[in-house]
Amino acid sequence: MKKPIEEWKTILPDHVFNILWKQETEPPFTGELVDEKRHGIYCCAGCGNQLFSSSAKFDSGSGWPSFIEPMSSKSISTRIDDGFGMSRVEVICASCGGHLGHVFDDGPNPLGKRYCINSAALTFIKQTSIL
């Protein structure tokens, strides 16, 4: 769901646009989804692409929603981010190309990954179990 950057600017709130398209980062412990504990799916705030399941979320203590893995290898893509004098792996929505956050190699076993994602880059869809 690629769109020109000018179109994203007109349809997204400023703080969401700035994270997705200017690679900004929200301050730690300020995002609405940091403490979200309900069962559901975390989607891209830009295009709605399903990114992470609540079953993959864990409390990393970092101040941002953290996940051990994406829903699918096709949900996200990554690239090297050499900004701010450090080298990190940037996480990008595979559908629209928006910046989501970064992935680090300090997550819990067995995968050892921590997908550290800006809360404002996500929307949450609550799921209920079917009886």
Bridge partners (DSSP) of residue 101 are 91, 117
Nearest C-alpha neighbor of 78 from the set 31, 116, 29: 116
Largest CA distance in the chain: 52
Kindly list the distances between the CA atom of residue 54 and the CA atoms of 65, 71, 94, 125, in Å, as whole numbers in the listed order: 10, 10, 19, 10
Neighbours of 85 (CB within 10 A): 5
Mark whether 116 is an active-site residue: yes
Number of residues written out for the chain: 131
Residues classed as catalytic: 116
